[in-house]
């Protein structure tokens, strides 16, 4: 039995099985590569699910976190630190937030979206409907994913995630991303509309052209907040600080934006940005909080990440390498549609038949999961978001040459899967 097999056995014995059975025990990483407990090296095309924006063990990130850990790691929310002030300033600057905007730091994307949900509730009370009653509804989109905690789960659309925990917090209506649905549902009972500019968990699907701009206009006209969940798509992942920027008219900005994943570069950091003084005043002292949010260690990681993204022009790299990778993937036999937003890429595989797509092979797994397993055997890490859909979200430092090694290996991986 290998060291990795022993560790996986101990995992099952000691850790709660909410993540299923992990396939690897990873012990180290450098740049765009990680190494497992048996010493096998992999090209990491997932980056901890769009988290490790700078790759693994980036010198600037390691230096900042190490120095902060040796200075001051935690202070509670009774005090503040230079790091939280500087990172908030940096976030407001790079995103182009309007004057009077503010930042709340949390520890994850779910926490950031919980804060945004509470912001919507406060807005609903501050801006009642025509009968003077608090606005109690929030509109979210079909196929959305906003987290798994109770509030964020109520915003998430997938029934399989929601049903085991119902009743969830009330008032959320999931609508298709169409102009007709938005026009129909967005009345004076709605306090907020929350959207992902790119739905990563749903298979990397962007919003229909013009939808976000329409949502911005209608929320302004009808007195609701527009909340944009950039947990997966933000912080350079799509080649811009905000994926929403490309979808909104020049000069327009959401009322609130949530971040996490790439913001910390591998350290747990979440944030909610509130746009302008009126929205920022909705949550007052004592109305929300977190023990660990904004701790000095997390702020050092976040500041090092954002600064390095700037200094190394990694947003440009995300656009250029992402476009190169997508074009190469489209040339691979057996690959169907490729959806690319910077270095967030969804790849639809061509199924030979319905059985192949949904439940084929001796493993009984859907095709995409079998491709993920075969790619892992070949030394590549990626994941499946559907029966025939792969997701790639590599570190933003990846080069075209490194991405090409996966493209060149993919035909053999697909052939191996179909032969089993």
Domains and CATH numbers, the chain: 3-46+313-419 (3.90.1150.10), 63-311 (3.40.640.10)
pLDDT of 340: 98
The Cβ of residue 255 has, within 10 Å, a number of other Cβ atoms equal to 26
Residue 206 to residue 198: CA distance in whole angstroms = 4
List all residues 6 or more positions away from 415 whose beta carbon is below 8 Å from its beta carbon. none
Q: Mean pLDDT score of the chain, rounded to an integer?
A: 96
Residue 154 to residue 162: CA distance in whole angstroms = 7
Output the CA torsion sign for 251, 252, 256, 257.
negative
Residue 353 to residue 303: CA distance in whole angstroms = 49
Q: Is the pLDDT of residue 56 over 80?
A: yes
Residue 185 to residue 364: CA distance in whole angstroms = 41
Q: Are strands 225-229 and 256-259 parallel, antiparallel or unpaired?
A: parallel
Structure-block tokens of residue 188:
């004076």
Q: Is the pLDDT of residue 161 over 80?
A: yes
Structure-block tokens of residue 339:
């959806």
CA-based end-to-end distance of the chain: 25
Percent of the chain beyond pLDDT 90?
A: 95
Output the CA torsion sign for 370, 375, 377, 378.
positive
pLDDT of 365: 82
> What is the dihedral angle through the alpha carbons of 108, 113, 118, 124, rounded to the nearest 10 degrees?
170
Q: Which residue has the tokens 């959806």?
A: 339
Q: Are strands 383-386 and 41-44 parallel, antiparallel or unpaired?
A: unpaired
Q: Which residue has the tokens 């397993």?
A: 373
pLDDT band of 359, cuts 50, 70, 90? low
DSSP per residue, 80-123? --HHHHHHHHHHHHHHTPPTT-EEEEESSHHHHHHHHHHHHHHH
- Beta bridge mates, 389: 348, 386
Looking at residues 292-320, what average pLDDT do you find?
A: 98
Structure-block tokens of residue 412:
């053999």
What is each CA distance from 237 to 296, 315, 389, 393, in whole angstroms?
A: 24, 7, 19, 8
Residue 254 to residue 225: CA distance in whole angstroms = 8
Q: Widest CA span of the chain, in angstroms?
A: 69
CB 370 within 8 A of CB 420: yes
pLDDT band of 360, cuts 50, 70, 90? very low
CB 325 within 8 A of CB 346: no
CB 338 within 8 A of CB 326: yes
What is each CA distance from 132 to 173, 193, 257, in whole angstroms?
A: 21, 20, 28
Q: Burial level of 251, CB count in 10 A (0-12/13-18/19+)?
A: exposed
Q: Which residue has the tokens 């055997």?
A: 377
Q: Is the pLDDT of residue 392 over 70?
A: yes
pLDDT of 35: 98
At 90-116, the pLDDT tens digits run 999 999 999 999 999 999 999 999 999
Looking at residues 119-132, what average pLDDT do you find?
A: 97
At 340-356, the pLDDT tens digits run 999 999 999 998 766 55
Residue 95 to residue 6: CA distance in whole angstroms = 46
Q: Which residue has the tokens 């302004």?
A: 220
The Cβ of residue 385 has, within 10 Å, a number of other Cβ atoms equal to 19
């Amino acid at each position: 039995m290998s060291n990795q097999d022993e560790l996986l056995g101990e995992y099952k014995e000691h850790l709660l099985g909410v993540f299923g059975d992990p396939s690897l025990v990873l012990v180290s990483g450098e740049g765009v590569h990680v190494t497992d407990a048996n010493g096998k090296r992999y090209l990491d095309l997932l980056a901890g699910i769009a988290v490790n924006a700078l790759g693994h063990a980036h010198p600037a990130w390691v230096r900042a976190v190490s120095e902060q850990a040796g200075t001051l790691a935690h202070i509670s929310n009774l005090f503040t630190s230079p790091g939280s002030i500087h990172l908030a300033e940096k976030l407001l600057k790079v995103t182009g937030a309007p004057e009077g905007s503010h930042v709340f730091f949390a520890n994850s994307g779910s926490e950031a979206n919980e804060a945004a949900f509470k912001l919507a509730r406060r807005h609903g009370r501050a801006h009642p409907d025509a009968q003077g009653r608090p606005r109690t509804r929030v509109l979210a989109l079909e196929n959305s994913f906003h987290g798994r905690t109770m509030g964020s789960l109520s915003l998430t659309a997938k029934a399989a995630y929601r049903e085991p925990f119902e009743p969830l917090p009330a008032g959320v209506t999931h609508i298709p991303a169409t102009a007709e649905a938005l026009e129909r549902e967005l009345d004076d009972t709605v306090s907020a509309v929350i959207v992902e500019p790119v739905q990563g968990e749903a298979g990397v699907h962007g919003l229909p052209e013009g939808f976000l701009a329409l949502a911005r206009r209608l929320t302004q006209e009808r007195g609701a907040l527009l909340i944009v969940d950039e947990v997966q798509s933000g912080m350079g992942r799509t080649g811009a600080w905000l994926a929403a920027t490309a979808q909104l008219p020049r000069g327009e900005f959401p009322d609130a934006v949530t971040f996490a994943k790439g913001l910390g570069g591998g350290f747990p950091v979440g944030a909610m940005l509130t746009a302008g003084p009126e929205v920022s005043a909705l949550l007052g002292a004592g109305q929300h909080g977190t023990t660990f949010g904004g701790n000095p260690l997390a702020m050092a990681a976040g500041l090092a990440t954002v600064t390095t993204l700037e200094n190394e022009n990694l947003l440009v790299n995300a656009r250029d390498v992402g476009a190169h990778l997508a074009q190469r993937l489209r040339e691979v036999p057996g690959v169907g549609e490729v959806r690319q937003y910077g270095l967030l890429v969804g790849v639809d595989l061509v199924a030979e038949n319905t059985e192949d797509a949904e439940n084929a092979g001796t493993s009984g797994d859907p095709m995409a999961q079998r491709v993920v397993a075969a790619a892992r055997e070949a030394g590549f890490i990626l994941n499946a978001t559907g029966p025939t859909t792969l997701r790639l979200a590599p570190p933003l430092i990846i080069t075209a040459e490194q991405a090409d090694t996966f493209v060149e290996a993919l035909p053999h991986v697909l052939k191996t899967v179909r032969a089993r």
